Amino acid sequence: MRLGLVVSGGFDPSGRDRVTPSLLWLVERLARRHDVHVFVLDYFAAPCRYPLLGATIHDIGRAGGLPGRRRAGQRRRLAAAIDAHGRFDVLHAYQGIPAIVTAPLARDRGVPLVVTLDSGELTAIDDIGYGLQRRWFDRRAIAWTIGIAARVTVATGFMAGLMPAADGGTAVVPLGVDAAAFPLAARADGPPWRLLRVASINRVKDYPVLLEAIALVAARGIDVYLDVVGEDTMNGRMQALARTLGVDGRVTFHGFQPTDRAAAFYARAHLHVVSSRHEAAGVVVLEAAAAGVPTVGTRVGYIADWQPDRAVAVAVADPQALSGAIIDLLQDEARRERIRSAARAWTLAHDADWTAAAFDRIYREVATIPPLLRSRR
């Protein structure tokens, strides 16, 4: 089959820097069986093309302007790129903006569209300007896109629960990891205890709550150290907050790290901590589980799905609850082991090979649906 995957970014030619590992693992496996083309909407300034992991990557170049004008520009560029490479059997749009841009192109060309919602498509957090449900034109665009897709997938039951009540055809397909990239490591128990947060430093990840929780844990006399792995998009404000809270000696900000370097942080961590206000899934939870690191965090994404047997979940935006859960889990070795084992078993059973096979079945199914029956409404 000829497959076209449409994404915002995550496919740097290096295969290491500024990539989305779960998508790389998926594309690599799909390319063993199919002719895979990845269309990138918003990475390089100028259009370019290059091979990666058996697929062909087409970066259409960034379109400027306000959101509406930018999307129109992306749509024109994407249409030209798709048409230049012949007919595709399936188009698969990953996340909301690529789906909104791709949907009318798929409809006009009679190509079945698979949409994966794996970000803030179904949420609105007004005080931080996050989510595609905040503005009427985005809500309308997402609803229309869902309606014409031949299949919609999400990675978690948590995200499926945010789908419109009338929708009954959403498939839950976790975006699995390559477990070999995160080998199980032997680690001595603390103290000192090493905690790990792998996420970009931005507002939806809610680092203030995490740093406040670390301060509360340290105030209880527990010897903890936090490694933060992720790009800083807040210009050092969280580092300044760590100093204000008096935990700068307990927190190290390592910046963005490619997968192989991030694996070393998982290998020495005792707990993986998530403080996000929203996660559609949170592939880092799977990475931690593969490495044998239990996760404690806010009730979003995989953590919401996995509580209480495969993760520990607490309320969003509650540093007291997060610190209490961290302390409780550090002090209960037997519970840590139960969670670690259960989470790792699930992750190995739903790895990147499993995901590729699941999408392969979906592509074959939607490709056989007659055009007039492809729309979900």
Task: Say if residues 253 and 232 touch (Cβ distance below 8 Å).
Answer: yes
Quote the CA–CA distance of 52 and 114 in Å, as a whole number. Answer: 22
Helix (H, G, I), strand (E, B) or coil at 341: helix
- The dihedral built from the CA positions of residue 186, 192, 197 and 198, taken in this order, carries a sign that is negative
pLDDT of 17 reads 87
The answer on 245 and 336 residing in a single domain is yes
The answer on 153 and 216 residing in a single domain is no
pLDDT of 164 reads 84
The answer on 147 and 38 residing in a single domain is yes
Quote the CA–CA distance of 344 and 266 in Å, as a whole number. Answer: 13
Please give the structure tokens belonging to residue 236: 């050092």
Task: Say if residues 321 and 212 touch (Cβ distance below 8 Å).
Answer: no
pLDDT of 361 reads 97
Q: Which residues of 127-139 are buried (b: 16+ CB within 10 A; e: fewer)?
A: eeebbbbeeeebb
Phi-psi region of 86 (alpha: psi -120 to 50; beta: other; left: phi over 0): left
Tokens 């909301």 correspond to what residue? 96
Please give the structure tokens belonging to residue 119: 């970000």
Residues 6+ apart with CB under 8 A from 209: 275, 317, 318, 319, 322
DSSP 201: B
Of the candidates 113, 175, 178, which has an alpha carbon nearest to the alpha carbon of residue 147?
Answer: 113
The answer on 241 and 171 residing in a single domain is no
Quote the CA–CA distance of 254 and 246 in Å, as a whole number. Answer: 19
pLDDT of 373 reads 54
- Concatenate the DSSP letters of all residues of 10-36 into one string: ---TTSSTT--HHHHHHHHHHTTTSEE
Q: What is the amino acid identity at position 181? A: A
DSSP 15: S
The answer on 232 and 314 residing in a single domain is yes
pLDDT by residue, tens only, the chain of 377 residues: 999 999 999 999 999 888 999 999 999 999 999 999 999 999 999 999 999 999 999 999 988 777 778 889 999 999 999 999 989 999 999 999 999 999 999 999 999 999 999 999 999 999 999 999 999 999 999 999 999 999 999 999 999 999 986 565 799 999 999 999 999 988 888 999 999 999 999 999 999 999 999 999 999 999 999 999 999 999 999 999 999 999 999 999 999 999 999 999 999 999 999 999 999 999 999 999 999 999 999 999 999 999 999 999 999 999 999 999 999 999 999 999 999 999 999 999 999 999 999 999 999 999 997 765 556 54
Quote the CA–CA distance of 355 and 85 in Å, as a whole number. Answer: 26
CATH code of the domain containing 271 = 3.40.50.2000
Domain with 308, as residue range(s), is: 179-349
The answer on 85 and 146 residing in a single domain is yes
pLDDT of 130 reads 97
pTM of this structure: 0.95
At residue 146's C-alpha, the angle toward residues 145 and 150, to 5°, is 100
Of the candidates 299, 258, 261, 305, which has an alpha carbon nearest to the alpha carbon of residue 286?
Answer: 305
The answer on 169 and 86 residing in a single domain is yes
